[in-house]
Every structure is written in C-alpha cells, then in structure tokens.
Structure 1
Amino acid sequence: MSMNLSLITAIKFRKGRRKSGMVSLISIISTLSIAIGIAALIIGLSAMNGFERELNNRVLSVIPNGQFYAPYGNLDNWRHVQQQLQKNSNIVSTAPLISFAGLIENGSKLSAVEVQGVDPQQETTISALPKYVLNDKWQTFKADNQQLIIGAGLAERLSIKEGSWVSLLIPVASGSNQLKPPKRVRLQVVGILELSGSLSNNVALIPLTDAQKLLDIGDSVTSVVVNVNHVYQANQIISQAALNLDQNLMFTSWEYSFGFMYRDIQMIRQIMYLAMIVVIGVACFNIVSTLVIAVKDKQRDIAILKTLGATNQLIKHIFIWYGVISGLIGSLMGVILGVVLAWQLSNIMAVIESIIGYKLLNGHIYFIDFLPSEIHLLDVVIVFITAMLLSLIASYYPAKRACKIDPARILNSF
C-alpha cells in the first residue's frame, strides 16, 4: 500500500512540475541525455556485433582455420597427412592446397596475385568460397580446361570480365645466378569471386591438378588446410594435432593472419561497455540536479504530507520513484531509438555515403566495404538495466534530503 501511494504521489509530482519551468527544463534535458546515451551505445554495440558476424561469415568461412606444411619444399605425402588429420575428432574437414605468387596480365595492365590451386570437390567441404562465385560458375570449374577464377577487386582493377582470356606469369626458380623469364600461360576467366572488401583484391583460383602441372611438382602440394569444430580455439587444436602426426610439420592458424581483427572487435566492445557506464552515469546523475530542484520546489507539499502523517520512508520512496520514472522514460526512449537506428544502420550509412560521395569503409583496406549491424537482445537488456540501476542510485541522495525537511519551519515561512 505504501509503495502504491509513493508511486502515485511521484506521478502527481511529475505532472505538477510544469509549474516550475526550471525543474521541467532540467528534467527534459536529463531524460534526453539518457535516451541519446543509450541509443548511441546500442548502435555501437550492434555495429561491433555486425563486424563479428561478418568476420565469421566472410573471413573465417572462406579461409581455412589452419594449415600444415613441410619445413622445406613441398608436401609429398599429403594424402597420408590428410588421413591422419581426419582421425582427429576436433578437425571437421581437410583439403590439399597449392599456393604461389604470380602476375596476371590483361593487355597493358598487370597485377600481382596470389594463385591458389584447389580441388573443386574438396573445396566445398573446407570453404564457403564456391558460394561467392557469381552466376554459380563453380559448377563448371574443372581441371584440364585452362580455367581461372579471380577476385572481383582484381577483375575491376584489370578490366577483366567473365569469359575473358588473360596471361598468368609464373616465376621460374633457378639454381644459378641467371635470371630466367617467367612461364607464361593463357587462361580463361570462367568466374568472378565476389567477397566484397580486401579479400577478393589479389586472389585467383585454379584447379589443383592444373597448378601441379604449371609448377611441375608432380603429385605434391604446398600444404594441407583444415577446419576445426571450435574456430576460436583453432591455435590450440591445430598445435595439438601437429604433435599427433608421425612427421614434423610446420603449422599456422587463422589467428596469425586475421586474429587481430577479432581481438580489435573484442577490445572495442569492452571499451564501449566502459563508455556505457560513464556516458549513462553522467546522464543519470543529471537526475540528481532535477530532484534537488524538485525537492526545493515541493517543500510546502512535503511539509503538508508530513503534517498529515507521512513518514520519512514514504517521502523517500516518493522521490526515488520520481527519479526512477525519469530514468525509465529516458531508457525506453533510448532503447526504441537505438534499436530502430541499429536495425537500419547499414541502409542509413549507404544513404549517407551516396550523399557525400565517399565510402566510409574502403574495400581495398578493410575486409568489408559496408557498415554491418546486428542487434543482440542481451546487449539491449544490459544497457537498459544499467541505466535503471544508475537512475536508482542517483535518486537516493535527493530522496534522503527530502526526508530532512522540517514541516513547522516550511509552513511558518508561507
């Protein structure tokens, strides 16, 4: 009953605050500050969630989680290594890979490229790359047909279209000090790999057996690539798997080349949680100013309530409810605004980029060329609860101060 009475009285006090312009102005400012702070944090956290999602979907799905290779030269007994790795319960798929550097020439245009020789059948089990080849051309990607698939960034830079013929220049190793001319082969671009971002800027794919013939390495490969069941524990799983092999092989994981992305995302997320406490805390403590002025403005009402028998506990609850209601209104406004903007963040940024005529995320630098967003309910709940707790804490001092008002002194002064 006391709780209901204090809540009803707090609502009445809030409705009556319009009589005092200063109280009303400060209350509106504090409520809007909370709303803007919460909205900004939800948008920021959603953007970090989006980057992590794209890291998983666009990077970790198209690059192997790890690879094993010989300390020197090529891997001759790769089939035996592959069979051993497949027996490991933490390794979900394996595939052979040949990787070498080359140059692609199209007319007068020339560009360096990382050429990857892959098995078209096994590649579908180890990577999502086939899904990103435009027009479903992976189905026609076969050996002994002089075929090549190149990244969209490379195709744009060299003005190459699907069906074009290009020259691939492969360096030739020489044991002497003489410089040998590169091997030149003509290949047809049968597909364009569209990954968006920097991943497709300098990559080209050819069938595994074609790569073996071009490099004249027989049945050897440069490495065996693997995927693991727990991608964020790839380094530990791969190092343990290397110990169980019957030969000494070097190994690496995605963490060596792309781990910095994941660590940066997690670091920014932690910074944003810290910023959440600071920003919302500053906004919520504006409630202190509002309540202090409200207590001063409502002295006569408090004195009358005490004269009628209201206890200090009731007075305290009234002003705690007063502050919590302000925090609740600001928090709900911020959650609604933040969720709506985060939901449409990619589209909003696309409109802004079209207006200013400038890409905020350059695909030649970053692994994506758009601003992603993904709303997590847990983030929204944590931000909302934190704001409400800080509103409650901010309301305590003014509420306690209201209990110290002397009814006799206040009523005698009117």
Structure 2
Amino acid sequence: MFQAFEAFIGLRYLRAKRRNHFISFISLTSIIGLALGIMVMITVLSVMNGFKKELTDRILGMASHATVMARSGDLQDWQDAEKRVQGQPGIVGAAPYIDGEGMLMKGKNVKGTLIRGVLPDEEVEVSDVANNIESGSLQDLVAGEFNIVLGADLARVLGVGVGDKVTLVAPKTNVTPAGVLPRLKQFNVVGLFRIGMYEFDSSLALIQMDDAAKLFRMDGVTGLRLKTDDIMRAPQISRSIVAQLPGEYWVVDWTQRHSNFFKALQTEKMVMFVILAMIIAVAAFNIVSTMVMVVTDKQTDIAVLRTLGASPRSIMRIFIIQGTVTGLIGMLSGLVGGVWLALNVETIVPAIEQLFQVQFLSPEVYYISELPSDLQWADVIWICSVAFVMNILATIYPALRAAKTQPVEALRYE
C-alpha cells in the first residue's frame, strides 16, 4: 500500500518548479499527446458508431427485423400465422410479402430488378418506405391496377418518372401456339422512393401483393416480415414466436441476412481501435522518457531520502505516483475533450464547412452527407482503461531505475 509521505513527495515533484525547463516541456508534450490520443479515439469511434447506426437504420428501414417462412414452398395460411404473430410480445408489426425477380424495360433501357409485392396498409408497419417517398404515394398500389413504385436510382437508369409506364418481364413463361414466350406486363409508375442505400434504391420495385401473386402465379406468399420493439433482441424474439406457431415454419433475422456487412463494420472498428491505440502508446513512451529524465534530475533527492530511511520500494512508489498522476491529467483532459467533441461533432462540422465554404461529404457522391456521431460509454471506458494501463506500465521502468539508485554514488560529487 502507498504511504502518505510517498504520495506527498510524488505530488510535490509533480507541481514543484523544475530547474530543467526542458524536462517540463517534455512532460507537457506527454500530457498533450495522451490527451489528443484519447480525444481522437473517442471522436473517431463515436463517428464510426454513428455511421453504423445510420446504415443499420437505413437497411432495416427496408429489410425486416425478421422473416417467417414456410419450410417448404409458399406460405399458404399466412392470414392465420399473421394473427398469431401479431399477438405475441415484442412484435410491433407484421406484413405479408411476395418476392420475385424480373426485368424492367423502358424503350432501350433494361434493368434487372427485385420485385416485392406488398400490402400498402400493412407495409408501413414493418418498413419506412412510406416515409421516404420522393414523389407519388405508396397508397396508389391498388390491386388490379398494376401500379409500381420504383427506387429513385432505378427510375433514373430507366429514364422514367411518376406517370410513365414500364414493362416488366417475369421469369414465368406463357405457352402459346407460337411457342414459349416470356410473360410481359405493363405497369404504371405511381411513386419513387429513396432510402439512401444503393442496394435498394437501384434494384427494388414495389407492386401490390395481389398483382404480384398473379404475375408470379403464386397461391400463397413468400413469408411474413416482422418488426420487433428491439432490433438487438430480434433473433430471440422471432425464434421464440416461431417455436409457438403450429406447422412447419422457419425464421431468418436481420443479423443473418446482413451478417457479412455488420461483421465487416465490427472488424473495421476493431482495427481502427488498435491503430488509434498506437497514438496513446507513443504518448506513453514520451512519459517513459520524461520520467527517466526526472529520475536523473532527482538523483540527489533520491539519495537523501534513502539516507533518511526510505526503502527502494518507497522510492519506486514515489515515481509511480508522479507518472500516474501525470497520465491521469492527460487522460481526463482527453476524456473531457473527446466526449465534448463527440457530442457536438454534428454541429461543429457544418460550422467548419460553412466557414471555409467546403463540403466534406457531398450528397452527389455519398449517400450519407452528414457526419453522424453516436457516443457509447462502453467505448469510452475501454479507451480510458487502455490509456490507464499503458500509463502505469510506462512508469515501471523509470521507477525501478530510481529504486536502484545508490546513495553513495549519487552524493559522491555533491
């Protein structure tokens, strides 16, 4: 345990005026380096969390939290399954859908497309597409009228807008006296949506579910899309619900459909954490050099303390306290600065852009044109813990060197 005189002397060395101003300068740079390293780590990881949250919200704005499907073939009794699912805890919405593929044509423009048949009144319960309609309305998808809502980028490629007509080529075929011909159906464009994800905006088209059933010759639906009250618990909630349903069902949640994407984001965050931790490591090395010079400068003081009865362990503790407090000052400064910057980055960046008349993330190039931030205290705790451990390790060698000081050698020429 640390004794009172060890803490007193260690703190005294910290705040006393040194004869060697160079040591003071190196100590100051060590504190600043540690503070900057922690501040940068907190800010960068918060911005990465913000991008992840933004991308997750946009993906789940179109992709369901979970999907219930029949183990074999189409889901025939989907009305009964939907009623049972909607009454389960944790479920805030359920909607049937039909998935299919086809090609959309407008003149010479052709684009492969994912076709999704939906019920507009129920689709709003499981997706945000209705809130991201640029023109037209999702409610214009009326059974029998063969209307279609396109992603904005898909419409741009085809060169169409609201009010135009497109031809859908379905993979199903018609057998006629002239031979086997592909199924063609003309649709009226009644809406355009933009989610902000290229995956959806450039390749997804929505039609009314009854029209999709006729087009793809289906008696049932592909499955039920579910929305839960907590996306992080979606796997557990959906599996517990499917286990209670009568019949052969299976479920796929968002963590399975987009597992590679979210694993890549997590890996990127871990790599970035390691890279930025090197900044803290450099600051820790500066603390080592600073403490070594302090020990050299305090050789006489160490010798006097030894002659007064201080043990080598007490000398070691004195310099560990000094180095630790130096690191704590830098760590707390970086913590305050990093948290403040992470909480205000969404305000600071636009102010800088307006001041210098620049735009870091152009909406013409990037789907996310603003710099989001999501401060997570778990990351802050990890960063401060790593910084504190590195700081403690940085004080050990100088403190051991001070403990090995021989009073006779130190006082020989005094």
Paired AA for residue 208 in structure 1:
M
Matches within 5 A, 1:8-407: 8-13=11-16, 15-16=17-18, 19-21=20-22, 23-24=23-24, 26-70=26-70, 73-89=73-89, 91-134=91-134, 137-138=137-138, 142-143=142-143, 146-161=146-161, 163-171=162-170, 173-174=172-173, 178-215=179-216, 217=218, 220-229=220-229, 231-232=231-232, 234-235=234-235, 237-239=237-239, 241-249=241-249, 251-272=251-272, 280-304=280-304, 315-339=315-339, 342-343=342-343, 348=349, 372-407=372-407
| Deviation of the 1:353 alpha carbon | 12
| Deviation of the 1:176 alpha carbon | 6.0
Cα–Cα, structure 1 residues 10 and 107, in superposed 2: closer, same or farther, change >3 Å?
A: farther
Deviations 1:264-320 (A, max 9, x none): 333444445555666534532432222112111222343455567767566444422
Alpha-carbon distance in 2 for matches of 1:413, 1:223:
89
Match of 2:5 in 1: 2
Alpha-carbon distance in 1 for matches of 2:95, 2:10:
66
Cα–Cα, structure 1 residues 111 and 62, in superposed 2: closer, same or farther, change >3 Å?
A: same
Paired AA for residue 302 in structure 2:
I
| Deviation of the 1:186 alpha carbon | 3.3
Aligned residues: CA RMSD = 3.8
Report how many residues are paired. 405
Paired AA for residue 378 in structure 2:
L
The answer to which of 207-216 and 274-283 deviates more is 274-283
Question: Which consecutive residues of structure 2, in runs of 5 or more, have no partner in the other structure?
Answer: none
2:38–2:338 contact (8 Å) kept in structure 1: yes
Alpha-carbon distance in 2 for matches of 1:193, 1:402:
66
TM-score, normalising length from structure 2?
A: 0.80
2:97–2:223 contact (8 Å) kept in structure 1: yes
Alpha-carbon distance in 1 for matches of 2:314, 2:235:
60
1:303–1:406 contact (8 Å) kept in structure 2: yes
| Deviation of the 1:117 alpha carbon | 1.5
Paired AA for residue 34 in structure 2:
I
Alpha-carbon distance in 2 for matches of 1:357, 1:343:
19
Paired AA for residue 173 in structure 2:
S
Cα–Cα, structure 1 residues 394 and 136, in superposed 2: closer, same or farther, change >3 Å?
A: farther
2:285–2:394 contact (8 Å) kept in structure 1: yes
TM-score, normalising length from structure 1?
A: 0.80
Look up the SS of the partner of 1:126 in the other structure: coil
Cα–Cα, structure 1 residues 401 and 283, in superposed 2: closer, same or farther, change >3 Å?
A: same
| Deviation of the 1:110 alpha carbon | 2.4
Alpha-carbon distance in 2 for matches of 1:229, 1:155:
33
Paired AA for residue 169 in structure 2:
I
Cα–Cα, structure 1 residues 8 and 201, in superposed 2: closer, same or farther, change >3 Å?
A: same
Paired AA for residue 5 in structure 2:
S
Identity %: 29
1:48–1:373 contact (8 Å) kept in structure 2: yes
Deviations 1:67-110 (A, max 9, x none): 23345654332212223333544544321102222233344322
Look up the SS of the partner of 2:260 in the other structure: helix
